[in-house]
Chain A
Amino acid sequence: MVALLPAGCGSAPEATTHPKATVPEGQVDPSSAGNISGRILFAGDKPSMPSIDMSSNPSCERQHRTPVKAETVVVNANGTLRNAFVRIKDGLAPAHWTPPEESVQLTQSGCIYEPHVVGIMVGQTLEILNDDPVNHNVHAESQINPAWNISEAPRDEHKFRKFPREEILFPMTCSVHPWMRSYIGVSSHPFFAVTGEDGSFTLRGVPPGTYTIEVVHEKLGRKEGKVTLPVSGVASIDFTYGSQ
């Protein structure tokens, strides 16, 4: 960053088109990389989530046989926490990681976002789909990235968006359907995961080293822990959230 300063105000095209020019390209040596895995546990009573009232838009309501429950805190059958965003927070050598070509999808289906928590890399494409017969608006309530609000009518073309900055968990909301809420985690590197039905995560192909691992949950907040990953080895770390 400091090295960019003498370049002046946009006078050096290299500096502006490749802002990370002084930082090496991020790459992993497969012969020494390993995996960090673990589980996000939830201690205490399983919280019960309220049912969503979709009556303000019958076309949403009709798509569900039974009322949909909110996904604010989802505890799996095995006592683990779903929808937690896990990532390496600290310990990676400074590098510029190229995002994958494939886009990450966020689907509006039955007036619910699928998935509820999206992990994506800086510069990677988010593809927003509308499977519903209704209008949605999509509002990125980001603080670090520029916020935006777009509409997506039924049968509209998919919308594509990128995020230029790392920002871990900001809401993506719809004001047509105020219960619609997903969370986006934008990571500057590829070592992140979102927990699913078994509450576990694996960060694959990580260079050996000592790392701070961070878990972020939309409602239950952040937790951190340290792990050391040996050469070509595995490391594991669990996190436990209380019921409060």
Chain B
Amino acid sequence: MEASKSTAEAARDVPGTTRSAVPGGATRSSSPEIGYNPGLHKWSLLLAFCTLLLVVAGGLVTSRDAGLSVPDWPLSYGKLMPKMEGGILYEHGHRMVATTVGLFTIVLLVWIFRAEHRSWMRPLAVAALIAVIVQGVLGGLTVLLLLPWWISSSHATLAQLFFSTTVVIALFTSRQWFRRPSVVPEDDENPLRGLSLAAPIFVLGQLFLGAAVRHKAIGAIYHICGAPLVTCVVLWVSMRILLHYGRNRELRTCAVALITITLTQVFLGIAAYMTRIAYADAVQPMPLMVTFTVLHVAVGALTLAASVVLAILVRRNLGERVTLPELTADAASA
């Protein structure tokens, strides 16, 4: 786990400006990716994956109307383990997955403090732990206060932010991150830095509107009207990358992923809305409605994460606004 002193120095740089000793044309086998910690990366991937499952579990709680099936918190029916029947399966199951994710986050934090030599990773780990704790408290409060919309919606939105945080940690600990980016200059005619920030901001706003709809604070119309707007912003950023920065493989891959995820999200949203209309008179949550809605919540988390990663990769791969033709070769990407 411990890296040598020289490794530490080489890797202590701020994100996006990692200047490793590896020459630009290094082949995959010979590049040592100094500072890369495979164990830490795998752990953060596991955390991100479990967090996505947790988002699914939480979405199930809301969609199955199970939020109040366990009236007490932190215990459940006065126990650590109630009988997992009906809605209790979802609500208590969600609490169990959340506890696991909380413990995994603590492990990640300890790991980062002990083995990670880029000191700027520490605040990120602390932020993740704070988020998961606040998230647990919001979850408990919304149960005790009978699901006030603003607590439930904050809980839903913070869940999305927390998932993105875990994805970003996985990105920063990945092997690819330690490779030298093939920097492309920012094109004055098609600036990207500012625009790439718009996507995560719009997506986050749309996620908040979605949460507010789910918790019955506002009509679905706001979230539905937001969708074309957000889709346009995502398309704008992604198409600018594909059209003008496509020679950079990291940016290209991420832009394609973001477009794919966003379009999937739009379809899931339409499907979720159709089932909601079709089952408006149902006396209990209908399986199709639950499935599409929960997938929509989960792919929403992926959309935000992809837009955040894209904004970070733009900062990593974009050079100054000067033309440096010798640096534009797509050499370092895997």
Contact = CB atoms under 8 A, between A and B. Distances in A.
Interface of A: 49-50, 52-53, 56-57, 59-60, 70, 72, 134-135, 137, 139, 147-151, 153, 174-179, 181
Interface in B18-40: none
Given A135-B85, A151-B77, A178-B64, A52 B283 contact: yes
18 contacts: A50-B282, A53-B284, A56-B87, A134-B85, A137-B68, A139-B68, A139-B71, A148-B146, A151-B77, A175-B69, A175-B91, A176-B66, A176-B69, A176-B86, A176-B87, A176-B88, A177-B87, A181-B283
A53 B287 CA distance: 11
B5 interface: no
Nearest to B83: A135
Given A139-B146, A149-B146, A175 B72 contact: no
Contact of B66 (A53, A147, A175): A175
Nearest to A70: B283
Given A149-B68, A151-B70, A178 B87 contact: yes
Interface string B202-237: 000000000000000000000000000000000000
A60 B282 contact: no
Interface size class of B (residues with CB under 8 A): 20 to 34
B82 interface: yes
A244 to B, nearest CB: 13
B72 A151 contact: yes
B283 A72 contact: yes
A177 B67 CA distance: 11
Contact of A134 (B65, B68, B86): B86
Contacts of A174: 69
Contact of B71 (A53, A59, A149, A177): A149
Contacts of B82: 135
Given A49-B283, A56-B89, A153-B77, 5 more contacts: A53-B284, A59-B85, A134-B83, A135-B86, A175-B66
B65 A178 contact: yes
Given A57-B85, A59-B85, A134-B85, A50 B283 contact: yes
Contacts of B65: 175, 178
A179 B86 CA distance: 11
Q: Which A-B residue pairs are the 4 nearest by beta carbons?
A: A175-B69, A176-B86, A57-B86, A179-B284
Contact of B86 (A52, A60, A72, A148): A60
Contacts of B68: 137, 139, 149, 175
- Of the listed residues A134, A150, A175, the one surrounded by the most CB atoms of chain B closer than 10 A to its CB is A175
Contacts of A148: 146
A40 B91 CA distance: 41
Interface in B285-331: 285
A178 B284 contact: yes
A176 B146 CA distance: 15
Contact of B284 (A52, A59, A134, A135): A52
A222 B186 CA distance: 65
Contacts of B282: 50
Contact of A137 (B71, B281, B283, B285): B71
A151 B87 contact: no
Contact of A179 (B72, B146, B283): B283
A51 to B, nearest CB: 9
Interface string B72-96: 1000010000110111110100000
Nearest to A151: B71
A194 B94 CA distance: 40
Contacts of B85: 56-57, 59, 134-135, 176
Contacts of B87: 56, 175-178
A139 B147 CA distance: 11
A181 B82 CA distance: 23
A69 B236 CA distance: 51
A39 B69 CA distance: 38
Contacts of A153: 77
Interface string B84-116: 011111010000000000000000000000000
Contacts of B71: 137, 139, 149-151
